[in-house]
Amino acid sequence: MIVDMKPEDIVGEYREATLTYYDGKSRKVLYTELETPYPDGKLIVSTTTPDGVISHVNRAFVEMSGYSEAELLGAPHSILRHPDMPAAAFKDLWDTVLRGEKWQGFVKNLRKDGGYYWVKATVIPNVRGGKVVGYTSVRRKPSRSKVDECIALYPTLF
């Protein structure tokens, strides 16, 4: 279940946007210009079901996203989707993993408090007995130069 973001959760001045996901559902998101720097040495790890519903998160995921573990488990991974991320990036992600391949890219994620953080993300299908039973996503600290390239590129993909 994904619900609209609430003004009382937001820290600082915010803007509103409505995101429409690939399944036609939409969500009102509230976002600010406050960046949380990616901590050195940590990995954010999560797994999802084949439908992209979060089934496991590690502590770094909880810390960086601002959501509690209970809020994350059972939510679609798109709970982190930031309005500055072009839909084309996620289409490429899904097209790639559905072919059974590994996807890698730079992603601006939305926090519960409306802030954001950049990650270098890698997603792979979890194949068990020849069947895809879910996906594992690992995020690590991106280089500033790659983030700057994405800041210039992503607005051109809308």
Phi–psi pair at 73, nearest 5 degrees: -65, 125
Residues 113-142 that bind another protein (CB under 8 A): 120, 122-124, 126, 128, 136-138, 140-142
Nearest-5° angle of CA 112, CA 117, CA 120? 130
Please, which residue, 83 or 134, has the CB nearer to another protein?
Answer: 134
Please, which residue, 27 or 42, has the CB nearer to another protein?
Answer: 42
The stretch near another protein (CB under 8 A) out of 12-20, 34-42, 72-80, 91-99 is 34-42
Q: How far is the CB of 35 from another protein (least distance, A)?
A: 15
Task: List the strands of the sheet with 131-140, edge to edge.
Answer: 54-57, 44-48, 131-140, 116-128, 103-110
Residue with tokens 């059972």: 74
| Residue 87 near residue 113 (C-beta atoms within 8 A) | no
| Residue 68 near residue 158 (C-beta atoms within 8 A) | no
Phi–psi pair at 107, nearest 5 degrees: -130, 135
Q: How far is the CB of 138 from another protein (least distance, A)?
A: 4
Residues 40-99 that bind another protein (CB under 8 A): 40-43, 45, 47, 58-60
User: Which residues of the chain form contacts with another protein (CB under 8 A)?
Assistant: 38, 40-43, 45, 47, 58-60, 102, 104, 120, 122-124, 126, 128, 136-138, 140-146
